[in-house]
Amino acid sequence: MADDQNPQLPLEAGGTPPGGSNVIPINIEEEMRRSYLDYSMSVIIGRALPDVRDGLKPVHRRVLYSMSEMGLQHNKKYTKCAKVVGQTMGVFHPHGDSAIYDTLVRMAQPFSLRYPLIDGQGNFGSVDGDPPAAMRYTECRLERIAGEMLADIDMETVDFVPNYDESTAEPSVLPTRFPTLIVNGSNGIAVGMATNIPPHNLTEVLNAAIDLVNNPSAGLLDVLKHVQGPDFPTGGFIFGRSGIADAYRTGRGRFLMRAKVATENLTKEKQAIIVSEIPYQVNKSKLIERIADLVNEKIIDEISDVRDESDRDGMRIVIELKRGAQPEIVLNQLYKHTQMQDSFSMIFLAVVNGAPRELPLVDAIRSFIDHRIDVVRRRTVYLLRKAREREHVLEGYKIALDNLDTVIRIIRGSASRAEARENLYIWGQGTEIVVNLDRERLPGEERGLTYRQVDAILELQLYRLTQLSVDEILNELAEIRRRIAEYELILSSDTRLREVIVEELKEVRDKYGDNRRTVIVDETAELQMEDLIADEQVAVTVSHQGYLKRTPISTYRQQRRGGTGRTGMKTRDEDFVAQLIINSTHAYLLCFTNTGRVYWLKVYEIPDVGAAGKGKSIQSLLSLQPGEKVITILAIRDLEEEGKFVLFATRNGIVKKTPLKDFSNVMARGIIAIAIEKDDDLIEAAITNGGQTIFLATREGMAIRFDEKYDPERSGAGLRPMGRNAAGNKGISLKKGDQVIGVAVTDCDSTREKIRDEFAAKTNQTKKLEALRNAEKQAHDTLQHAREARRNGSPEDEKLKTAERNAEKACEDSWKALKDLDEKLGVPKTLILTVTENGYGKRTDIDEYRLTARGGQGVANLKANTKVGKTMNVLTVDETSELMAISQFGKIIRIDTTSIRKAGRSTQGVKLLDLEAEDKVAAAVVIPAEEIKEDDQGTLLS
């Protein structure tokens, strides 16, 4: 009734709105606009877009941080994904388990991320689009590289914010040591905007970042010297370079991706297209279904079958063609109608200072560098504070140690700990204290001991009063002060700060960097033959008479020891397999001739004639000049590799080494590799690393061994790198009528000493080895003094002669003792096998040939006489080597080199094969360990 008597007045008449006085009238349009903007920014910042600093969205960041807090490091055991999801959802991300698990799965997929951040165990999906197993079945832990994203997070390097219920705190950004946003890319759809950032190669991006740190004014052209373009985890090709610079300059661009394909001969008339890599984010099973649909719909008629032969070794889609079909035509059709050619549209959008922004590549790298500068500076402040706190305590220890008797007297005279604390503090403020802090007091710092220092002194254990512990305290104080000086330098010098950042970037690059997977080709370039050849490992067999063939390694199944083997190459009775090369079909074969020229062959150019085929003559594969013959074939995958050299040796004793990259300019007609005089020939070429030893042997039984490493301070020490057209240096001084017949490249003495140290350490024989080394050195010093004494005195003095003989015997005994220890330790030996023309041979330890300067006459290697004949060849062997020798009359023998007696340098050796009166050994080679022929072992290529 009261309500009827006092009706509600309308608002325009000054009435009260329904619900009471706390209701405020608003404009519905303004409220919708404001609420939608708030929602949009929440989605943009808190869900859909990555932060430019660590490249992560909040859910990714929370998963990684949660796993770190759970202790799931790369070297710890796996934990159920359900536990990780539950922990993340309960503490940091209360938005449902499916979103968290999907995020975790993607960070573990090697086909989704260029550098996966989570190490998954179990079914995490596949490139076919198969879903992952339920989280209760899968397990995970952090990848090692993820630790670099979380490094130093406990050193106040980033800001922490309260989690959703303010029960704990979470990082607002991770202190990552590499630009994850660029390296792993990102994608997301926000409100009114989207991001799609491709992954890149870690080495390239970090090299560009290092360049920008050292040179902040560097621009896009400088960055593009390092960053070639996107590097997708699934490999493939990027077709065209023209748009890459524009895309990185504006932050938007389009990259055309193509599958990696090759052709394979199924029969003489049928071919197949083999797809080994597909474009990024393409579903393999749907791609195969699409190809099948095109065949069924008669859009592509030249395909007879398509099947998926992928396995754990890699992807392999076989598109079998009809007889007479042209692979290039079919490929163009597949590129047009399927996702074998696809595009990636880049939108480089990220959150910068709390707002979304499209970024050029240079700005993205600079944002990461700014983040690293902030992280390193904050870390240094934290470490400086901790160091000063520790210094303060150590200074208290130093004061107490300098006044130890007084401190002990005060403590013993106190009735309680509190009284002792107060008495020490009062004493510390007095004028009688002897204080030597090696530095000035800071403004406001107490004159004597502080309460903190007093507490530290009272907690000092008695054993710390020993002289050893006192020294430890003083050393620690000196080290802490050194660190403080370093931290202060970093904080005060921008140059030093940037040096620290560069050092850390290089460390990450060297630890995790790898080669590109995606190859960038020019858009105008036509498909080359190499693009259609599968990049696979093959076995290239080279016969003694120069026949070559290649065979896929997969042709030879692995057999158990004692198997019958299978025929790898059919040869004539007077021929045999002299060399086996296992390398990629895209590798180069450097073919060096006796006249000092080099020719190139690609492995895929060698015919594949089946496992039992004879092959093709090298004369028909190369355009050799009259009188030329190939004497050495070297297999090289990368002609630009640094630190590799080609060593040459000629018949007249000339040696030379040339950087491998000097042979990267491939020419079909060949080029000069070494300048050779008319009366000389190249006898061998070998790959070296610049720090090995060179062994030359001559026909008359002499040999010399010298270091390859060049030393300009010593005459004749090593080999200086020379260009292709250079003639080289004298390797050995030959007597009249003598000539070099063989070369061996072995590890340097320092490398072999390291191996000997490793074997000695494994068997606790290090002390014995050192004692024997010292004894050998002392014996050599004694011998040198004895020889000097004899030279300075009378050469006929019997006492001096006896002393020299005794010294020589001591040297011999010490060397034998070392060799006996090597035998006991099982140290692998480097042996030189010398074969003579009359069929004799011997094995000699390389250490018996002392190192000398290059160009000397050398030492005796063989007692060459009418019985054994001249030296025919020298070879490097071990305890597993086998020898194949053939005579001029076609007699062949194959023997285990362990059956050849070990002998000293100047010995004759033992008979290897019986020859007729006029017959001589024509060639001898060590057959490859994996040689594909029937043998007693039966162990074949694997």
DSSP state of 134: P
- CA–CA distance, 172 with 182 (Å, rounded to integer): 19
- CA–CA distance, 390 with 395 (Å, rounded to integer): 9
- CA–CA distance, 932 with 567 (Å, rounded to integer): 6
3-state secondary structure of 378: helix
Cα angle: 512, vertex 516, 521; to 5 degrees: 165
Any idea which residue has 């002792």 for tokens? 420
- CA–CA distance, 187 with 347 (Å, rounded to integer): 9
- CA–CA distance, 774 with 575 (Å, rounded to integer): 51
Encode burial over 325-359: b for 16+ CB neighbours within 10 A, e otherwise: bebeebbebbbebbbbbbebebebbbbbeeebbeb
- CA–CA distance, 90 with 105 (Å, rounded to integer): 19
C-beta atoms surrounding 551 within 10 Å:
23
**What phi and psi, each to the nearest 5 degrees, are found at residue 180?**
-60, -35
- CA–CA distance, 255 with 637 (Å, rounded to integer): 28
From 137, 248, 487, 710, the catalytic residue: 137
As a 3-state breakdown, the chain gives helix, strand, coil percent values, each rounded to 5, of 35, 20, 40
Read off the amino acid at residue 646: V
| Side-chain half-sphere CA neighbours of 255 within 13 A | 31
Reading the block at residue 180, the tokens are 């994850």
| Side-chain half-sphere CA neighbours of 31 within 13 A | 5
C-beta atoms surrounding 303 within 10 Å:
20
Reading the block at residue 234, the tokens are 């699934």
Look up 137 and say whether it is catalytic.
yes
Q: How far is CA 532 from CA 234, 276, 589, 604, 621, in A?
A: 18, 11, 19, 10, 20
Any idea which residue has 């303010």 for tokens? 166
Whether the Cβ atoms of residue 830 and residue 875 lie closer than 8 Å to each other: no
What kind and span of H or E run contains 344? strand 341-347
Work out whether strand 831-836 and strand 740-746 pair parallel, antiparallel, or are unpaired: unpaired
- CA–CA distance, 70 with 183 (Å, rounded to integer): 26
Reading the block at residue 913, the tokens are 């094969």
Burial of 531 (0-12, 13-18, 19+ CB in 10 A): middle
Reading the block at residue 123, the tokens are 């079914």
What kind and span of H or E run contains 317? strand 317-321
- CA–CA distance, 697 with 745 (Å, rounded to integer): 12
Whether the Cβ atoms of residue 678 and residue 692 lie closer than 8 Å to each other: no
- CA–CA distance, 496 with 363 (Å, rounded to integer): 23
- CA–CA distance, 599 with 603 (Å, rounded to integer): 13
Which residues lie closer than 8 Å to 419 by C-beta, 6 or more apart?
none
What kind and span of H or E run contains 257? strand 252-258
Encode burial over 902-933: b for 16+ CB neighbours within 10 A, e otherwise: ebebebbbeebbebeeebbbbbbbbbbeebbb
Contacts 24+ apart (CB under 8 A), 553-559: 553/582, 553/941, 555/611, 556/611, 556/932, 556/940, 556/941, 557/940, 558/939, 558/940, 558/941, 558/942, 559/938, 559/939, 559/940
Q: Would you name the residues annotated as active-site residues?
A: 137
